[in-house]
Structure 1
Amino acid sequence: MLALKTTWTLSAAFITLALAACGGEKAAPAAASAASGASAVSVDAEKKEIKIGTTAGDFGDMVKESIKPILEKQGYQVTLTEFSDYVTPNQALAEGAIDVNVFQHKPYLDSFKAEHKLDLTEAFQVPTAPLGLYPGKATALDAVKAGSTVSAPNDPSNFARALVMLNELGWIKLKDGVDPLKASKADIAENPKNIKIVEMEAANLPRSRQDVDFAIVNGNYAISSGMKLTEALYQEPSYAYVNWGALRTADMKSKWAQDVINAYKSDEFKKYALDRFKGYKYPAEWNIPANGASGSSAAASAPAAASAASASK
């Protein structure tokens, strides 16, 4: 059974049934058309319930505070499921337990759906809190020393981002030509400061700060734990990791899916997001740079990024 946190109470039996579903809506009885003379060409009622899944925190808040009201004004019923990991949301989407998920960047989606043979498609970008290097026991970049400890997310995609960040800072050196989306410990060519990288579940990174010198924390977990983006000592400059909302490929052209996409692209959502999520990286089509990112000054003084990192932008 999939482990998830919902905004409503569900019995275990209902969850099991939901996960076994294929995402299709049952056909509604044909409307009586004799009086109007209409032809009953279609007996499928238009889909009016949309189930959105996100990780806990900012993406869920976007649904509750903006997207849900926008869609409800169009007559939809919107339910939100908040997941506590990066695996379940794609499985739940593929199995039909939810209709849309919002939690991942494209490199992760591409890798996950290829590995698990899932027919999912990225549909729209969402404002995303960037990955950042935050103070732990050390409070400044120049406090790094021989043997400093840095906690980092342990899933391959985000760990690769962490390595690229450490490379940009000059704390490690990656091998020439390494794929920045797939970098691993084996790709570290030099580690002059003997940096000790402590891998752990992304959700545990905020709490790790008391035990390590620095922590590389995913933006959503930083926000949900009460951290401020402006506390970051450095933020990744790449826009390759602005997150996407995903749908089943077969649903992409449906009316309800287009309404979801349009809600996330609407001026109403954009205005809300710019006010509510300052310091985030925004969808590329908005043409708005992240603001309030304290990492910008650090970026200017950090060593130039490796050519591999530049290729990921």
Structure 2
Amino acid sequence: MKIRQLQFFFLAIFFVLILSGCGSSSATKEDKVIKIGATAGPYSDQVTEGIKPLLEDKGYDVEVVEYTDYVQPNLSLDQGDIDANVFQNSLYMKDFAETRGLDIIEAIKVPTAPIAIYSEKHDSIDDVEDGQSIATSNDPVNQARALAMLEDLGWIKLKEGVDPTKASEKDIAEYIKKVEIKPLEPAQLPRAMSDVDYSFVNGNFAISSGLKLNGAVYLEKTPPHYMIGVTVRESDEDAQFVKDIIEAYQSESFKKLNEEDEKYEGYVLPEWMN
């Protein structure tokens, strides 16, 4: 009886090892496929030109998935349709994650195209006058970012004690320049230029629309909390593919790409890159 029990025991162990071996092989194959989401334009270009080749050298099959808004990339990440995304700053990511109940984190900051102020009607921000119209992003994080720029420019004054990273139009204490603020979807801001005096355009949408950073009338002095980052699921924080993505961004070849390609001129570099 004992011999038969031992036979069943070792047979069970054998099948467990066989099944776990098959599972391991399948997981390894899956882990070598990486889907990275990015908004069309600079961050998609960075991945395609500077990150994808390095990951492919490590044996990964890399697919770059382009988006045209600031909502779907995080939802796709949470649902497992992509493995990482590159389009947002840490404040936007945290706000979105809290609102939607997502477990996502920033893995590394990347070279960032700043918010740029463009105008088809004026050659300088010094031309601003009462009654002129200003287009800004309508999402809370980037609108607060634009309002902080307006205060720095001396066009408005925010209420005392207001956190500038959370400011909204109701937090404006005074319009030093009596401008009209028009919040719009971020992707619409480049197209709104002909309808307003000044348009505050996020760098990725500016570049993907064919605008040049050096053609703006003013560039944001981007602080660290507005730098764009690579976002991953929190459960993947220690995964090898995330470590390999970080290594690719920190490589000399990626740094050289950003320093030598003129289309990345005007980008703000993360601290680790200086």
* TM-score of the superposed pair, with normalisation by structure 2: 0.88
Correspondence list, 1:128-207, <5 A? 128-207=112-191
Q: 2:93 aligned with 1:109, yes or no?
A: yes
**Following the alignment from structure 2 to structure 1, what is the Cα–Cα distance between the partners of residues 197 and 37?**
34
RMSD of aligned alpha carbons: 1.8
d(CA) in 2 for partners of 1:264, 1:103: 15
CA contact (8 A) 2:117 2:198 kept: yes
Task: Check the 8 A contact 1:136/1:211 in 2, yes or no.
Answer: no
Q: Is the 8 A contact 1:31 1:43 kept in 2?
A: no
Call closer, same or farther: CA 1:201–1:235 in 2, change over 3 Å. Answer: same
CA apart distance, 1:158: 0.4
Distance 1:31 1:83, change over 3 A: farther
Where 2:222 maps in the other structure, the secondary structure is coil
Q: Pick from 254, 266, 269: which aligns with 1:269?
A: 254
Distance in 2 between the 1:265 and 1:40 partners? Answer: 34
Q: Deviations over 1:201-235 (max 9, x none)?
A: 11111111111111111011111111111122222
Pairing 1:40-51 to 2, within 5 Å after superposition: 40=21, 43-44=24-25, 45-46=27-28, 47-51=31-35
| Match runs of 1:237-256 below 5 Å | 237-239=221-223, 240-256=225-241
Which is further off, 48-57 or 267-276? 267-276
> Residue 62 of structure 2 corresponds to which residue in structure 1?
78
Answer whether contact 2:137 2:189 (CA < 8 A) is retained: yes
Report the residue type matching 1:282 in the other structure.
L
CA distance in 2, matches of 1:77, 1:174: 49
Select which of 81, 84, 105 maps to 1:100.
Answer: 84
Q: Distance in 2 between matches of 1:169 and 1:77?
A: 46
Greater radius of gyration (CA): 2
Task: Report percent identity of matched pairs.
Answer: 47
Q: Does 2:269 match 1:282? A: yes
TM-superposed CA distance for 1:40, in Å, is 4.7
In structure 1, what residue type is equivalent to 2:267? Y
In 1, the alpha carbon distance for the partners of 2:210 and 2:23 equals 50
Taking the aligned partners of 1:31 and 1:98, their CA distance within structure 2 comes to: 31
2:197 equivalent in structure 1: 213
The count of corresponding residues between Structure 1 and Structure 2 is 252
Would you tell me which structure has more helix in proportion to its own residues? 2
Tell me by how many angstroms 1:91 deviates. Answer: 0.7
- The SS at the match of 1:43 is helix
Structure 2 letter corresponding to 1:228:
K
- Cα distance, 1:238 vs. partner? 3.4
Amino acid at match of 1:279: G
Matched AA of 2:24: V
CA distance in 2, matches of 1:257, 1:190: 46
CA distance in 1, matches of 2:237, 2:186: 30
| 1:82 alignment partner, SS class | strand
Distance in structure 2 (CA, Å) of the matches to 1:189 and 1:73: 55
Q: TM-score, normalized by length of structure 1?
A: 0.77
Larger RCO (CA under 8 A, 6+ residues apart): 2
CA deviation profile, 1:103-150 (whole Å, cap 9, x unmatched): 000000111111111111100111111012112322212211110111
Aligned-partner SS, 1:209: helix
Which secondary structure state, in structure 2, belongs to the residue aligned with residue 118 of structure 1? coil
The residue identity in structure 1 corresponding to 2:236 is D
Paired with 1:61 and 1:234, the residues of 2 have a C-alpha distance of: 24
Opposite residue 250 of structure 2, the aligned amino acid is: K
Q: In the alignment, what sits opposite 1:120?
A: 104
Aligned amino acid, residue 43 of structure 1: S
